[in-house]
Homo-oligomer: A and B are copies of this chain.
Amino acid sequence: MKIAFIGLGNMGAPMALNLLKNGHTLNVFDLNQAAVQTLVDAGASASASPKAAATGVECVVTMLPAAAHVKRVLTADDGVLAGIARGATIVDSSTIDPASAQAFAKLAAERGNPFVDAPVSGGTGGAAAGTLTFMVGANAGVYEQVKPMLAAMGKNIVHCGDTGMGQVAKICNNLLLGITMAGVAEAMSLGVALGIDPKVLAGIVNTSTGRCWSSDTYNPYPGIVETAPASRGYTGGFGTDLMLKDLGLAADAAKSAKQPVYLGALAQQLYQTMSKHGDGGLDFSSVIKLYHDVGAKR
């Protein structure tokens, strides 16, 4: 399959490599020439613009930081919509707000191009290993069409509903993740302050009704889960500023829908405090530092 891949950052580059490995032919575009060169070395063709990349392909994949970038890449004079053939599919794997995804889908539909929102979870590790989860918003026919291509980059390809619903699934999950992580930080810190051994407390919670991924797989207290960022100084993992981005998308979507997000809005302020302190690059589980001195400088 002939594919254009636009956006070769920490996530996009390994995703594109996996497409190449699975035998697809790739046009690539990024403003960062070093990133482009890596893909060219692996067999891709460099394009001079999103328009050039999109010309003559069956599918365009975009992986960009925010909705504003997606808009520019799609609608600029030298953008994707200026070059893409009628009927070719656009798959946006960026995490953006659902309303923008739906607006882009409308724009694309006017030109005869199906638009699919397919944000991912799994981080840079999952991108490299080809084990990402794709949350896909598309009608059933288009979903079946893009599924094999996505399977070259991910392990779980989940159909979430029509356009925009991939983004909805992503931000709702991450809203809950942001809340549960801060909740675990709060409960673990309280327990330790009251004298319980943190491993004992985690053991009880993990076999009881407080059980959650933030506790049993990614516990923010150091030394509970050996593979979690908490056990290596909160390095690697999912950065606080990335969590803030997703909580911001959730809060904005909630505002549009006039839907209160009490705990989410409060959790957002907690991560924002971390970011203000210069810890936006640490894994988001470092939010526990607001509750407890875990051996770090704060």
Which of A's residues lie within 8 Å of B, judged by CB? 98, 121, 133, 135, 156, 158-162, 164-165, 168-169, 171-177, 179-180, 182-184, 186-191, 193-197, 200-201, 203-205, 207-215, 218, 244, 248, 250-251, 253-255, 257-270, 272-273, 275-276, 280, 290-291
Q: Nearest chain B CB to A157's CB is how many angstroms away?
A: 12
Whether the pair B272, A173 counts as a contact (CB closer than 8 A) is no
User: What B residues does A276 contact at CB under 8 A?
Assistant: 258-260
Q: Which of B179, B204, B265 contacts A158 (CB 8 A)?
A: B204
Contact present for A200 and B269 (CB under 8 Å): no
Q: A177's contact among B169, B209, B213, B263, by CB below 8 Å, is which? A: B209
Q: Is the CB of B204 within 8 A of A262?
A: no
Q: List 15 A-B contacts (CB under 8 A).
A: A98-B194, A121-B209, A168-B191, A172-B188, A173-B209, A175-B183, A177-B209, A183-B183, A187-B264, A190-B259, A193-B254, A254-B272, A260-B273, A263-B267, A265-B266
Q: Is the CB of A261 within 8 A of B186?
A: yes
Q: How many copies of the shown chain assemble into the complex?
A: 4
Q: Once the chains are docked, how many angstroms separate the CA of A190 from the CA of B264?
A: 11
Known: A263-B179, A269-B260. Is A172-B98 also a contact (CB below 8 A)? Answer: no
Select which of B204, B209, B261 is within 8 A of A213 by beta carbon: B209
A174 touches B250 (CB 8 A): no
C-alpha gap A177/B227 in the complex (Å): 24
Instruction: Given A196-B165, A260-B291, decide whether A173 and B210 contact each other with a Cβ distance below 8 A.
Output: yes
Min CB gap A158→B, angstroms: 6
Assess the B263–A186 pair: CB atoms within 8 A.
yes
Cross-interface CB contact of A190 among B160, B254, B266, cutoff 8 Å:
B254
Chain B contacts of A98 at CB under 8 A?
Answer: 194-195
For A209, A253, A258, A263, the residue with the greatest tally of chain B CB atoms inside 10 Å of its CB is A209
A262 touching B258 by the CB < 8 A rule?
no
Contacting residues, chain B, for A258 (C-beta < 8 A):
272, 275-276, 280
